[in-house]
Structure 1
Amino acid sequence: MKHQTDRRFIQANKEAAIAVALSLAYFIWWYATAYGFGDRPVSEYAYVLGLPAWFFYSCVVGFLLFAVLAALMVRFLFKEVSLEKTDGAKGGEA
């Protein structure tokens, strides 16, 4: 099949795998920090900037960290590819 050898599909599959890996890493970060810091009774919670530590690290720090990682991922790992048909492509097989 042409899709398996077309460099655009290879690049798209690579980018999709990287995006899924980053999403899974974000979920693991969120789960570990939310349940790691939040598994105590409320009276024993630590607070950061007025927020419970579990919320601060999982939702605030995690969001900022992974937003920066996503921007870096797009900047350095994603490549711009043409969506136009290549010279050897026929019909709908771009």
Structure 2
Amino acid sequence: MRKIFRQADREAYITLGLYVFFFLWWTLFAFGLGAGDPDEYSYVLGLPAWFFYSCVAGYPAVTLILWLVVRRWFADIPLDAANDDERDENKGDE
């Protein structure tokens, strides 16, 4: 049972780290490239560069990173494991 909790804790920390990463990605591109005079903005595919990199390119990039992380470090944990442990303990009492 402890192994399940360690895995769940690890996945929660990884998820939190990825949320922070995406927040920083979006913030740095949006406010880093978006600061200043709008007349001086550079454009990518007709969109301001800050918007393109923070929203249009950022979402697919982070989605790909999330997919890779889930495939590599997340595990499929049965949700009924606690019930199985209780059943095994009760069998010893019979």
Specify the TM-score bucket, using the shorter chain as the normaliser: 0.7 to 0.9
Greater share of helix = 2
TM-score (norm 2): 0.84
Please give the root-mean-square deviation of Cα atoms over the aligned residues, in Å.
Answer: 1.8
**Residue matched to 1:87:** 85
Please identify the structure whose Cα radius of gyration is greater. 2
2:72 corresponds to 1:72:
no
2: distance between equivalents of 1:57 and 1:76? 26
Count of aligned residue pairs for this structure pair = 87
Q: Determine which of 48, 62, 65 is the counterpart of 1:52.
A: 48
Matches within 5 A, 1:28-47: 28-47=24-43
Structure 1 runs, 4 residues or longer, greater than 4 Å off: 88-91
Cα distance, 1:31 vs. partner? 0.5
Matches within 5 A, 1:19-34: 19-34=15-30
After superposition, the C-alpha distances for 1:35-61 in whole angstroms (9 at most, x for unaligned) are 111111111110000000000000111
1: distance between equivalents of 2:67 and 2:20? 16
